[in-house]
């Protein structure tokens, strides 16, 4: 879907974004800044804890944010078939993700700063998911078929767009990372009936209030 620029600068994100810590800056700039950052794994206790932490908003105008965005892309490109990555997966608990856009010609990789899902359809699809940070784990999960997303770019410009299909699944998966939600834990909660079961074939509310 085509993204729609909103002509107001996203001031709210600036106010909520806290300055990067010295530890975060050190991780972002370690080694060659043109190369990939290591991807955190749940098999390491300290890295696992970082993956479980809730991320805070990023300042899109901070030069270190631009370095992080670039290195996250290199990290994703270094994987074998990865289609998305979130900042916690490279050790930084900030709201930044990369997603492969299968809904666009050429399936480009795109970054998103402070992404928020502001609406999602009741209609869900069931499909397989794995995770770059969880070795040898793959399972089936329900995800909303359509979402509305808001985010900013490195200039602070805010955008809103509707995304559907497999790309919407990737967005939901990566944004879960920003809240410390891992699919392995999600599956355990489903087994314990902590998640409400949703009929994947129920009528969607896509058209409600959207005429």
Residues 49-54 have a mean pLDDT of: 98
Average predicted confidence (pLDDT) for the chain: 89
Residues 1-10 have a mean pLDDT of: 53
pLDDT score, position 68: 98
> β-strand 96-100 against 84-86: which pairing, if any?
antiparallel
**Confidence at 11, pLDDT banded by 50, 70, 90:** very low
In angstroms, the CA 101 to CA 26 distance is: 30
H or E segment and range at residue 184:
helix 183-191
150, 164, 174, 190: which is the annotated catalytic residue?
A: 174
Residues 95-121 have a mean pLDDT of: 98
pTM, whole model, 2 decimals?
A: 0.85
pLDDT score, position 3: 63
Percent of the chain exceeding pLDDT 70 equals: 83
pLDDT digits (tens, 9 = 90+) for 146-194: 999 999 999 999 999 999 999 999 999 999 999 999 999 988 877 765 5
Tally Cβ neighbours within 10 Å of residue 188: 11
More confident residue, 179 or 208: 179
pLDDT score, position 187: 83
pLDDT score, position 160: 98
Helices (H), 35-182: 45-52, 63-77, 165-177
Tally Cβ neighbours within 10 Å of residue 170: 22
SS3 182: coil
More confident residue, 124 or 14: 124
Q: Over 80: is that where the pLDDT of 210 sits?
A: no
Task: Retrieve residue 10's tokens.
Answer: 């996203």
Is 174 annotated in the active site?
yes
More confident residue, 12 or 149: 149
pLDDT score, position 5: 61
Hey, what long-range contacts does 5-8 have (CB within 8 A, 24 or more apart)? 5/157, 5/158, 5/159, 6/157, 6/158, 6/159, 6/160, 8/158
């Amino acid at each position: 879907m085509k993204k729609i620029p909103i002509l107001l600068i996203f001031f709210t994100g600036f106010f909520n974004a806290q300055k990067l810590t010295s530890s975060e800056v050190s991780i972002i700039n370690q080694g060659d800044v043109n190369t990939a950052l290591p991807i955190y794994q749940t098999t390491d206790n300290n890295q696992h804890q970082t993956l479980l932490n809730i991320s805070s908003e990023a300042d899109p105008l901070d030069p270190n944010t631009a370095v992080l965005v670039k290195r996250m892309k290199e990290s994703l490109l270094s994987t074998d078939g990865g289609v998305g990555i979130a900042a916690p997966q490279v050790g930084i608990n900030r709201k930044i993700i990369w997603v492969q856009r299968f809904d666009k010609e050429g399936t480009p990789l795109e970054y998103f700063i402070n992404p928020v899902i502001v609406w999602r359809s009741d209609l869900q699809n069931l499909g397989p998911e794995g995770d770059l940070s969880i070795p040898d784990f793959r399972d089936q999960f329900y995800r909303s078929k359509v979402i509305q997303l808001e985010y900013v770019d490195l200039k602070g410009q805010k955008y809103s767009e509707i995304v559907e299909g497999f790309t919407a699944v990737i967005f939901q998966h990566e944004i879960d990372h920003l809240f410390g939600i891992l699919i392995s834990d999600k599956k355990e909660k489903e087994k314990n009936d902590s998640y409400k079961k949703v009929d994947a074939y129920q009528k969607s509310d896509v058209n409600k209030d959207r005429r």
